[in-house]
Every structure is written in C-alpha cells, then in structure tokens.
Amino acid sequence: MEAPLASAADIPSVDRLLHRPALAPLVARHGRAQVTSVLRAHLDDLRRAALAGTLGRSALTEEAIAPALETKLSASERPRLRPVFNLTGTVLHTNLGRAVLPAEAVRAVVEALTAPVNLEFDLDSGARGDRDALIEELLCELTGAEAATVVNNNAAAVLLTLSTLASRRETLVSRGELVEIGGSFRIPDIMRQAGAKLIEVGSTNRTHLSDYAAAIGARTALLMKVHTSNYAISGFTKSVSVAELSELGRAHQLPVAVDLGSGSLVDLTRWQLPAEPTVRATVAAGADLVAFSADKLLGGPQAGMLVGRAELIRKLKKSPLKRALRVGKLTLAALEPVLGLYRAPEFLPQRLTTLRLLTRAPAGMKAQAVRLQPIVQRALGAAYQVRDEPMSSQTGSGALPVDQLPSHGLVVRAVKARRGSLDRLEAALRALPRPVIGRAADKALWLDLRCLEASDEEAFEAQWSELRL
Ligand SMILES: *Cc1c(COP(=O)(O)O)cnc(C)c1O
C-alpha cells in the first residue's frame, strides 16, 4: 500500500507549528529565534518534496517535525572546537593545538575565568601592577636571566624584538638560519614587517664569525641567531655559537638576540631524549635576549617568552607593539603552574603532560596496542586488517626535528587495496564523536598510541560502536 501523498498546500504555517505542544520543549531549550529559523528551513525542504510528489502526509505531523528539528538544532549547537584523539605520532602537533596542559594549569584557568583576579593589581601596595610580574620572577629563576616578558607567541616575541631594537636599521643573520616554520613564519618576512633590514651573512651550509664581523657597519643594530628548528643541515657545515657571537656583539656594543624556537627549560638528555638547547645555557653563553615558545617543549599554553638583559626587556615593554601583543589572563593563569613544575625537574616526566608523553616507554604502548587491536579489528570488519606494530613518533613543532622516538601502535591496511578505501576509513574515524586522527603513509593508516594516555583509553574504546564505514 502506498503512503498517502501531501501537496504543498497541506504544509502548516510556521506560526501555527510554533504553538503546538510538541515544539514547546524545543522553544524552551533553544529559544524562539533558533527554532523558527530551523523550522522555516525544514518546511522549505518539505515544500520541495511536495512539489516533486515525494512528500508523505505523515511527515507533516508535529510528532514528525519536532524530532527532525531537534536533530538539526543539536547539530548546529555542537561545538566547532572539539577534543580529538591525536594518534598522528606527533606529540606537539600545531594543527591539533600543540601542548596538552597538566591538570594544575587547567584548574588555574578555570579559577581565573570564574572570579576577578589580580592581573594588573599589586596586592602588597594596592597600586596598579604589571601583568608580566606574575611570572617574571619564576622565569628568571628558571633561566638565569635578569628580566623577562611574555607576548602572544614566539613569532610575536621575534617581531617585538626586531621592531624595538632594529627598526630602520640592520640585523645580521646567517644564511643557514633564514628558516620558515610551518609556512607562515619566515624570518625574512618578519624582518620586513618589523621594518628591519636583513643582512644575510655566510652561506647556506657554512657561516664563520668573520662573516658577521665583516658585515658589521654603522647601521647595524642587532646580531641574531635562529635555531633551525624543523630541519638539519649535515655534512660540510659550520655555524657560529651563541658564545662566539656574543663576544663579537660585546666588542661592538651590539645586542645579540637568539630565537630558540622550542627551546627547553631543562636538559632533555637526562631522560634519554635528543638534546635541545636550553634557555639557561643560551643565556649563560652570553645572549642578550632569548625568545622561545611556551606551547612547544615547555608544555604550556600558547605564548612567546622573552628573557634577557633588564635594560633590553625594559625597552621591549615600553613599545606600543607590546601592548598589542600582550597575553590575556587565561594564558598567564596557565603559564604560572606549568613553570612552577620546573622547580622540581625530577617529577616532570610524571607531572608535565608533554614530557610524560615524550618519555613513554614503548613496552607500555605495545601492551596498549595488543589490548586495543581486537577492538579496532572488530569495528573495522573484514575489509581491513589491523596489526600492532612498532613505529616512530616525533616531537613536532620544530623541536628535535631529526630524531624520532621509538613508539608502538596499530597499523590498518585495506585487505583488497581499492582506491579510496583508506580515505573512507580516515573520514569515518574523523566522524566519530571524538574524532580519531591518524597518519596515512605507505598505503596504511598508522595509529600511534603515544598520545593515548591510560585515562583516555576507556573513552577511546567506547566509541567504536558508532563507527560508520
Ligand atoms: C616555532 C618557531 C617559531 C614560531 O613560534 P610560535 O610560538 O609558533 O609563534 C619561531 N621561530 C622558531 C625557530 C620556531 O621554532
């Protein structure tokens, strides 16, 4: 028996429907304006179906319309910024928000959001305070620097440095250090934006101290070193150390600034991680200013840190750009407890999320992979083969670029290699309630378990029943 068809004239009015009891709870929850707009769009759809001769009468009852609206309203209210599972194997993944913060930092952010705070208010004197003062002392203690300030990110720290110290004058940088980070940060571009003239010294693979010395002239304002974060040059190479460059700077009374990129507040080799220059060692070697990110190896919120000589930091803080690039209270709230963790470095691998992930033992990840393999295999079905295999993760965000960390995870391959089957699988994983992001390579999908902590495993297991392949 065919369902009775409706015509466009049978479609009830928006006004009449809005007053029906089935829609009342929707109006109470989502507000009249949103329900009206979704209802209008829904009735337009019904009208089109009626004109095409495909609209059944049953679709016109309020009992049919209300749930359809509810589905659309919930979908439109779902947050756009959502938690995902980062199984890419890149711990500090810029596209996935870089460092995940420890619980102390999250608590501090919630408190700072919930109540007024002494952001720029000196509780001792009752006078106006300086927001940087909240973390300056801690940063100086951890780096050995005289003074410190903080801005929106490391790109901002470099921009502020160049604009304040080298505007309309020359900055010397080695050709081997004119790097691009993640497509949007290029040293020559930042230099231009800051109004500083870039003087390239040396060659791509070799730069000597004499190259800098020869380029110093009356218009030179700054000597700069950039940590070549995301690539390495090997072979016949030579670069000038911070100590050598600082000595040259002192002889000519020119400040030396170092963009350390990730930089680290502790020596990572004590946990068998690849060496990365520490901020303290860079300051000790004589750098006058050191800029670094707070959300890379440091493991904190997005921010750019600047530490160095008091007189230079004072100049930076007086620049109008500093006001434009300053951080908000949420950043400072998160930063303070993260920096605090560095006071007890021996506990960092437990307490600092980033370091905990970087130092995970492959054996633990292997056990996890063996446990999860049957669950994922069952969910993906016979068209895919899921195996637990060793793999390599990376730190990411330009830190420790060459060295890879031994890791373990699941590798998914299509049993019959049909075109698009891996793309389909990736799309299905992204459509899960908490999207799963892996890494496609060599005709397989690699799910690196390094960033799946035990506390997340239950949520990870629970959602496979919702996979729609
Ligand atoms: C990452 C990086 C930057 C940019 O830092 P953001 O905090 O992302 O702005 C600048 N310089 C170097 C050397 C870097 O590694």
pLDDT interval class at 235 (50, 70, 90):
confident
Ligand 1 nearest atom to the CA of residue 260, by list position: 13
What's the 183 CA to ligand 1 centre distance in angstroms?
A: 11
Q: Which position has the token pair 């619980």?
A: 103
For residue 402, the model assigns a pLDDT of: 55
* One domain, residues 168 and 245: yes
For residue 344, the model assigns a pLDDT of: 98
* One domain, residues 245 and 370: no
* One domain, residues 298 and 367: no
What's the 179 CA to ligand 1 centre distance in angstroms?
A: 10
CB distance 377 to 414 below 8 Å: no
Boundary residue ending a domain (351, 377, 410): 351
294-309 pLDDT, tens digit each? 999 999 999 999 999 9
When divided into structural domains, the chain yields a total of 3
What's the 87 CA to ligand 1 centre distance in angstroms?
A: 23
* One domain, residues 174 and 194: yes
Q: Domain containing 56: what range?
A: 8-77
Is the pTM here over 0.85, yes or no?
A: yes
Provide residues with CB under 6 Å of ligand 1: 153-155, 181, 185, 226-227, 229, 259, 261-262, 293, 304, 397-398
131-161 pLDDT, tens digit each? 999 999 999 999 999 999 999 999 999 999 9
Q: What is the CATH number of the domain that holds 276?
A: 3.40.640.10
Instruction: Give the residue, out of 293, 298, 327, with the most ligand 1 atoms within 8 A of its beta carbon, to mutate for a pocket test.
Output: 293
Mean predicted confidence (pLDDT) in 248-257: 98
* One domain, residues 370 and 340: no
432-467 pLDDT, tens digit each? 999 999 999 999 999 999 999 999 999 999 999 999
What's the 122 CA to ligand 1 centre distance in angstroms?
A: 32
Residue 383 to residue 53: CA distance in whole angstroms: 39
In a domain, 334, yes or no: yes
* One domain, residues 137 and 269: yes
What's the 147 CA to ligand 1 centre distance in angstroms?
A: 21
Ligand 1 nearest atom to the CA of residue 156, by list position: 9
User: Residue with the nearest Cα to atom 5 of ligand 1?
Assistant: 154
* One domain, residues 169 and 34: no
In a domain, 227, yes or no: yes
Contacts of 86 (CB under 8 A, 6+ apart): 93, 96, 437, 451
* One domain, residues 107 and 233: yes
In a domain, 373, yes or no: yes
* One domain, residues 121 and 230: yes
Q: What is the SS3 string spanning 279-348?
A: HHHHHHCCCCEEEEECCCCCCCCCCEEEEECHHHHHHHHHCHHHHHHECCHHHHHHHHHHHHHCCCHHHH
In a domain, 3, yes or no: no
For residue 182, the model assigns a pLDDT of: 66
Instruction: Give the residue, out of 159, 180, 181, with the most ligand 1 atoms within 8 A of its beta carbon, to mutate for a pocket test.
Output: 181
For residue 370, the model assigns a pLDDT of: 98
What's the 155 CA to ligand 1 centre distance in angstroms?
A: 6
For residue 183, the model assigns a pLDDT of: 62
Q: What is the CATH number of the domain that holds 427?
A: 3.90.1150.180
DSSP run (H or E) holding 448: strand 444-448
For residue 231, the model assigns a pLDDT of: 65
Boundary residue ending a domain (328, 351, 374): 351
* One domain, residues 111 and 42: no
* One domain, residues 382 and 278: no
Would the pLDDT of 215 be above 80? Answer: yes
For residue 369, the model assigns a pLDDT of: 98
In a domain, 2, yes or no: no
In a domain, 347, yes or no: yes
What's the 454 CA to ligand 1 centre distance in angstroms?
A: 31
pLDDT interval class at 180 (50, 70, 90):
confident
* One domain, residues 332 and 442: no
SS3 278: strand
82 vs 235, residue with greater confidence? 82
